[in-house]
Amino acid sequence: MQILRKNFLLKVFSLLLAIAGWGYFRFSANPVIAARFDQQLSVPITVIRLPVGYIARVPEKEAIVTVAAPRRGTAAVRPDEVKAVVDLENRTEGAYTIPIQVVAPNLQIQSLSPASLTLKIVKLEQKSFPLALHYAGAGTRGIVTADTRISPNHAEVRGASDVLSRVTAVRVDAPLPASPALFDSMVRPVAVDSLGTEVPGVQVAPNLIRVQIHFIAGAAH
């Protein structure tokens, strides 16, 4: 009788262990049930309501948003369901530190990094420059120009005020030939600084200039 009692208790204990093991493997294998952890998402930072005529220099491109685990039986949160927004309404030129707003309907936000964004707003300006002709290449001694035409002869440069202030000229390049020739081509104008180096981050209009140059042999001495 004692042996039967011991065997019965052993069987009950074994059954409980089997049930516990089945439950563990059954639920851990189900991603909808097992994935009950907070979700971390990398979300692009979007600037909204920036006044016309200004640009915003944003050092951070993405925010890390942690959302609470979805309810049992629901799918994981998609990154496009969460927005990280910086509102620049009524802001003018200057440096600002602005809180990042998370837009995530029906989601519980656990954390946000960074919580705010330090950025700079710069005014867009436009300035007109006469076109400067620059001869490129060694060419040949004794070749001179008989006639030069640049159309149009001015260009408009548009960009952020602090970048535009570096522009001192707009240049078009023409190659020097080795012998008398007629150069007639559409050339891209380049905004340059005082050292003749191209200034990036500005727009030059028009983007092509017609350059016509008649190269002839110079008078012999």
Q: What is the CATH number of domain 36-114?
A: 2.170.120.30
How confident is the model over 118-169, as pLDDT tens digits?
Answer: 999 999 999 999 999 998 876 667 788 888 999 999 999 999 999 999 999 9
How confident is the model over 74-114, as pLDDT tens digits?
Answer: 667 777 788 999 999 999 999 999 999 998 877 788 899 99
196-203's contacts with Cβ under 8 Å and 24+ in sequence apart are 196/171, 199/163, 199/166, 199/167, 201/159, 201/160, 201/163, 202/157, 202/158, 202/159, 202/163, 202/164, 202/167, 203/157, 203/158, 203/159
Mean predicted lDDT score pLDDT of the chain: 84
Instruction: Break the chain into its structural domains and give their ranges.
Output: 36-114, 125-217
Of the candidate CATH numbers 3.20.20.100, 2.170.120.40, 3.30.930.10, 2.30.30.90, the domain formed by 125-217 belongs to 2.170.120.40
